[in-house]
Amino acid sequence: MQIPENELPRELTPEQAVEAAYASELADVADRVRRGLPALVECDKDLSLFIYMNLRARLKQANLQCVLIDGRQRAQSDTSGIPLGFLATMIAQIRDAVRGSVERKVLVLPHLDLLTTSQGGLTTEAREVIPLLYENPDLVWLGLKDPSFPLPSVIENLFPHRVSLFGIARPRLRHLVTQKEARKLGTHFNPWTLYKHVSGINAVRLRKLLASLDGEDYPADARKAYAQIRQATLTGTLEMPNVALEADIGGYAKVKERLRKEIIDVLAMKDRLTREDDIKHIEELIPKGMIFWGPPGTGKTLFAKAMASALGAAITVVSGPELKSKWVGESEQNLRQIFQRARQSAPAIIVFDELDSFATARGTYEGSGVEHSMVNQLLTEMDGFHRDELVFVVGTTNFVESLDPALLRPGRFEFHLYIPYPDADDRRAILEIYDRKMNLRMTPAAFDHVVKRTGDPVEGAAAGTRYSGDHLNALCRSLARYRLRESVNGPTEPADIDRVLTEWIERPKLTAAEERVVATHEAGHAVCALFSEHATPIERISIQADTAGALGFVRYQDPAHRYVVTRAELLDDLCILMGGREAEALLLNDISIGSTSDLQRATAIARALVEEFGLGGEGVPVCRFRDDITGGVRVLSQMQMEALDRRTAELIESARSRAATILREQRSVVEVLRDMLIECKVIDAKTLAKVVGR
């Protein structure tokens, strides 16, 4: 697609540029007007005067007179001596043109947006104008409308023919660049490369932009010139991010690979193509709408910024709640303006953060109903995309299941990228980045320790909340503050990690007797785990109350099998859960209420074995199950229900008896662990192995 320099124009006026860019569209508008059909042209304000001049010249050839109703006062018409305002003058001009006309004319309205509010309603003055617009059927109206302002139906209905002149068609770009300007863009001018950066700006604005290019002719590297163009096209809140997918985002190898292979690499391939058919084929394959979903804090917006950086695209991050307005129509107007600015700054990415805040399934709203209109407007804007426009929409959400199904169909938000909580490898990679950026100087042992510690639920957060990238960032910043506060210049050790994690936790002050009960309880769990064949190895035992809702705990290593769970493993889990209360009964001759949660979990596992999995172990496997239609639990016979309850109780009693047997046989080990916990508070895997020899 390289164009020889001598085939480019030497000079271009704005009028010539408009003709070169929009000739077919303007010829169609002029033809409709000649045949008596009112027409509406949607274009940017800085383009409207040149559009009018072009159409006036075309209509003059057909002996049609154009009357420009622009609100400017004419000296000969000012007889009162009292100057009228701009809008009042425009209304007076409309009245004079409509009621004084005796011949066929074309009345041109270049400022239709002045008759409407920002929400698309009619202004007070416009109510006086509307009857005039329909009064004289012999007149032909030609309107020019800014795309930022919606028109009410009563005005739109006046124009049966509408055309939108937005941006530039790719094949016409070669006619809008002069020879002098092409020299600033490298040795060989390729309009397809330039189009990526200017697809959303109009011909007049493009001419101003290209005329302002500086730098040497025929540069070996044209990136400086393209950077000037890129900076000049940024509008509103759009910015150029600088986030490297590999260097600035740790872990998430599969997420990165999919994003790279399905989006970034495909677009890079398009930039290398030279045949128009090949480029159009690639553009048909690229999804313009994407959903990045997953738990809070996992980096959904960061991935969008990394994608923008890789594509050289501008980005704007829009919060869903910020779009909503109590004024009718203003929320939809906010959406229109966001899309318009993104198109003018293409290539661009619009990120709707918390998309579910307004794009939940229609019919489920409990608010004012503005969400319904916002979803419709969003769908309208996305359906209006042209394939050669490099504008992408990314919606981030924690609740993808709540989104309106119309958004998720192919052609809209068809690319779904799940970004989960980071696993151990991801957490290590994220921590390595923060360690380098914050100069934390973590030792290998500290890395291992913090990766394991952050595998637990987050202290003080909602139940089930695990460590995300944001939590790891907060942890590292806390560690950096601690090092600064304590003037720590050496490496960060595991003890420093523990101090930062637990320094501000409100721990209960246990008496010696209470501490003995907790230590006995946790030692019972640990010994049952050590002597159960299918149990997961222990990583850490603590009675420091440094886990939310627990005076002590036994933490286990990541299981070897994450997706296949056997009956033997679940029976071992039952035994371990019963170990705490049985240790108390054995060594203290009493049982505390601290074993309540253990008993609840054991009951849930036993019921699941019997009632859900059919693994009760006696006779024919019978289980209760949920009806897919009603969602309710299908009721078995009374005899079968009693059998299931009886078998559940038998499993729990069997686990209790087994735990009691293990603890009696290993009483000395239980006592040693109990005493060590009282003294040291924490026992790690290495120390545990030395004590019990396994």
DSSP E strand stretches across 4-102? 39-42, 66-68
Name residues whose C-beta falls within 8 Å of residue 690's C-beta, 6 or more positions apart in sequence: none
Strand, helix or coil at 682? Answer: strand
What is the rounded distance in angstroms from the CA atom of residue 259 to the CA atom of residue 304? Answer: 10
Task: Mark whether 522 is an active-site residue.
Answer: yes
Quote the CA–CA distance of 555 and 553 in Å, as a whole number.
6
Of 310, 160, 293, 170, nearest to 242 (Cα)?
310
Catalytic residue, from 19, 181, 332, 522: name it.
522
Write the single-letter amino acid at 259.
L
383 near 347, Cβ under 8 Å?
A: no
DSSP H stretches of helix in 293-423: 300-311, 320-323, 330-344, 370-383, 405-408
Q: Which burial class, exposed, middle or buried, applies to 650 when counting CB atoms under 10 A from its CB (0-12, 13-18, 19+)?
A: middle
Amino acid identity for residue 65 in this structure: Q
Tell me which residue of 418, 193, 416, 221 sits closest to 312, measured CA to CA: 193
Q: Strand, coil or helix: what is 411?
A: coil
Structure tokens at 253: 């190898």
Whether the CA torsion 307, 312, 313, 319 is positive or negative: it is positive
Given a contact cutoff of 8 angstroms between Cβ atoms, the answer to whether 26 and 54 are in contact is yes
Pairing of strands 391-397, 413-418: unpaired
3-state percent helix, strand, coil for the chain, nearest multiple of 5: 50, 10, 35
Please work out, in degrees rounded to the nearest 5, the angle formed at the alpha carbon of residue 464 by the alpha carbons of 458 and 470. Answer: 45
Handedness of CA 415, 420, 423, 427 (dihedral sign): positive
DSSP code, position 68: E
Distance between CA atoms of residues 59 and 517, nearest Å: 97
Q: Which residues are catalytic?
A: 522
